[in-house]
Amino acid sequence: MTAAPDSYCVMGNPVAHSRSPWIHARFAALTDQALQYDRCLAPLDGFATALAGFAAAGGQGCNITVPFKLEAAQAAARQSPRVALAGAANTLARQSDGSWYADNTDGLGLVADITRNAGVALAGKDILLIGAGGAAAGVLGPLLEQSPRRIVVCNRTAAKAEALVAQHAELAARQNVVLQAQAQQALDGDFDVVINGTAASLQGAGVPVPATVLRPGSLAYDMMYGPAAAAFLDWAALHGATGRDGLGMLVEQAAESFALWRGVRPPSALVLAELRALLATEAAH
């Protein structure tokens, strides 16, 4: 008898929209890896129970999406340095003793998409990061490691932005980056790169910052993709910025997770091109 393929999932709420199963199926096909990858909808108050159930059924790894990235970090017996810094995890891998190892590949995926796929260097630039939740926490460290000139973190609740900045102050000093927290209501200045790390688009809320944060030709990047990113991208285009959705980040962070789980690096650029073509075809119908 042939052993059942290893089981993986994306766990979140909501999760029905996730393209992760398609992405990992393509990675597996292109690298000759046998695995099964599904969506797992966890109750908003039941992440730990859902994770335990997945583990009991033999699950070997999870991608974690909103709103469970902070809980995922706490659920792991071991954490990567990225998780220890961010306090948030988007990837869990089963260890030989059955416990979970947590990593955060979000920031690696974001940086790869901006610098490699979009061709925008971050060194010496002024960056605005909107949000201070799990998504923003996961990318701030890797953004700092690109040695921009300045990063401003803004959030509706200023105290959360201040806490995230304090968490990363030592890394910012090592990288010689000016790192500041500002309240959304009191944002000052404009930026080369504006990154939306909030779930405002999922909730149908408007763009959470004024257009004065944009410079002509600024990169305005929404970590969401598809319809959820449309309002932010329309806003960027209206004000002379270059909009980019988070589809490339999704594929690149998935590639990092896949490499952690399987020890094989998949062809992420090819899969991103395929996925964009698929989405364009779907939109046309």
The position carrying tokens 């959820």 is: 228
Confirm or deny that 132 is annotated as ligand binding.
yes
Contact yes or no for 176/146 (Cβ under 8 A): no
Confirm or deny that 244 is annotated as ligand binding.
no
Confirm or deny that 198 is annotated as ligand binding.
no
Q: Report CA dihedral (134, 140, 143, 144) to the nearest 10 degrees.
A: -160
Confirm or deny that 90 is annotated as ligand binding.
yes
Q: Is 139 left (phi over 0), alpha (psi -120 to 50) or beta?
A: alpha
Confirm or deny that 246 is annotated as ligand binding.
yes
Structure tokens that stand for 30 in this block: 């292109």
CA 55 to each of CA 8, 15, 72, 211, 241: distance values in angstroms, whole numbers, following the listed order: 10, 19, 13, 45, 44
The position carrying tokens 């990154």 is: 195
Helix axes 20-31, 268-284, angle to 10 degrees: 130
Confirm or deny that 223 is annotated as ligand binding.
yes
* Single-letter amino acid, residue 77: A
Confirm or deny that 126 is annotated as ligand binding.
no
Confirm or deny that 63 is annotated as ligand binding.
no
DSSP state of 238: H
Would the CA dihedral through 108, 114, 115, 117 be positive or negative? positive
Q: Is 152 left (phi over 0), alpha (psi -120 to 50) or beta?
A: beta
Q: How far apart are CA 258 and CA 215, in angstroms?
A: 36
Confirm or deny that 141 is annotated as ligand binding.
no
Considering the candidates 9, 11, 23, 69, report the single residue annotated as catalytic.
69
DSSP state of 65: -
Confirm or deny that 155 is annotated as ligand binding.
yes
Q: Does 125 participate in catalysis according to the annotation?
A: no
Confirm or deny that 253 is annotated as ligand binding.
yes
Confirm or deny that 123 is annotated as ligand binding.
no
Confirm or deny that 7 is annotated as ligand binding.
no
Q: Which residues are catalytic?
A: 69
Q: Known binding site for shikimate: residues? A: 18-20, 65, 90, 106, 225, 253
Q: Known binding site: residues? A: 18-20, 65, 90, 106, 131-135, 155-160, 223, 225, 246, 253
Q: Known binding site for NADP(+): residues? A: 131-135, 155-160, 223, 246
